[in-house]
Structure 1
C-alpha cells in the first residue's frame, strides 16, 4: 500500500522576507516592532545615562529612559506563504555602523519620521536612497497629530515623488501592519518591474 502524504506534509514553510525599520532617535522603531511582532521581540535596550542624555535630544521624549544600542527583532506571519522578519535599527548616529549589517538582504525598509524633529530623519532617508533599497516613509503621529502636512515633509526631506509617504501610529497593530504592507507592496512592485525590463 502506497502512503499518500497529507496536505499539511506537502505544504511549504512560509517564504521569509526581511524588512528593516529605521529612523532617528526616539521616533518609535522599538514601539512599532513590539506592536506587531507575533513573538516577544528581541531588543537591545540600554538605559539612557546622564552622559547620553547630554548627547541625545530628549526634548520631545522626556519620558524615554532606554534606547536601542544594536537592533530590535520581531516577526509577523502575513499568511501561510509569507513571513516578515523585522529588524529595527538603532537611531543614534554613533551606532550607525550597525546599519550595513542590518540591511543586508532586506527586501525593503520603513523609515519612521517624527515631524517635531525632521533633522533627525535625513540620515535614514539618505541611507536608503544611497543603498537603492525600496522604502516607505511613515510619519509617526505622536499624540494623534503631526506638526507638518505631507507636502511640507516631502519637501523638507527632499524626497522623490515615487517614495510613498504615509501617516501611521507605531503603538497600533493595525496601523503598523498597514505600513509594513505598503513596504512589501512597493518592494514587490519594484521586483516585478525589474523582471519585465
Structure 2
C-alpha cells in the first residue's frame, strides 16, 4: 500500500529538511531564492517537497512538504487531496508561534477533521516559550486533541518519531471505525 503524508508549517520550520532526512530517494525540492526579508533564509519552497520512505511491512509513505508562505495556500489544498495524515511543524523562534499554528489549523481544517495530525515544535532548546503545555491548551481550546512534541527535524530519529505517532493515530482511528461498524 502507498500512503500520502503531508508536512506543513511556516517558512523555515524544517519541512524540506524533515523530508530529506528520512527519504530513501533523493528528495525533490522546488526551492527558489527567498525574497521575504522578514525571514532569514536564503531559499523557500514555492511548489512542494517530495520524498519516499518504505515501512518495515513494505508499505510506502509518499512524503509531501507544502510551501510555508500563506500566499501559496492554493498549493495547500492541492497537496492535501488524498493525504492520509498531516504533520504541522512550528518554529518556536518566530514572533507568534501559536498564531502560526492557527494559520495551518485553519488552512487544513478539512483535512484534519478527516484524518490524523501531529504538531511538532522546533527550536525549543533556544526558545522554550510558549511551552508544549501552551500548545496543547491552545489546541484543546479549539476542540482539538493531537500529540504535541518538541522536535529537531535535522535528526532522522525525531522525524521517524513524528511519522510513527501519525501512523499510530491512523491505526487507532481505523480500529475505532472497525469497532463502530
Give the 3 Å change call, closer, same or farther, for CA 29–130 of structure 1 in structure 2: same
Aligned residue pair count: 174
Determine if the alignment matches structure 1 residue 125 to structure 2 residue 105. yes
Q: CA deviation at 1:159?
A: 5.0
**Residues 73 and 107 in structure 2, CA contact (< 8 A), matched pair in contact too:** no
SS class of match (1:116): coil
1:146 alignment partner in structure 2: 128
* 1:56-108 C-alpha deviation (Å, 9 max, x unpaired): x31xxx2x100000100001111142111100000001000011111111111
CA distance in 2, matches of 1:153, 1:167: 11
In structure 1, the residue corresponding to 2:108 is in which secondary structure?
helix
SS of equivalent residue, structure 1 residue 171? coil
The alpha-carbon deviation at position 127 of structure 1 amounts to 3.1
SS class of match (1:39): coil
Partner SS for 1:43: strand
**Does 1:42 find its partner at 2:19?**
no
Give the superposition deviation at 1:177: 0.4
Whether the 8 Å contact between 1:142 and 1:169 is mirrored in structure 2 is no
Q: 1:103 maps to which residue?
A: 80
Match of 2:53 in 1: 76
Q: Gaps (5+ residues) in structure 1?
A: 1-14
| Contact 2:66 2:76 (C-alpha < 8 Å) held by counterparts | yes
What's the counterpart of residue 160 of structure 2? Answer: 177
Q: CA deviation at 1:161?
A: 5.5
- Which one has a bigger Cα radius of gyration? 1
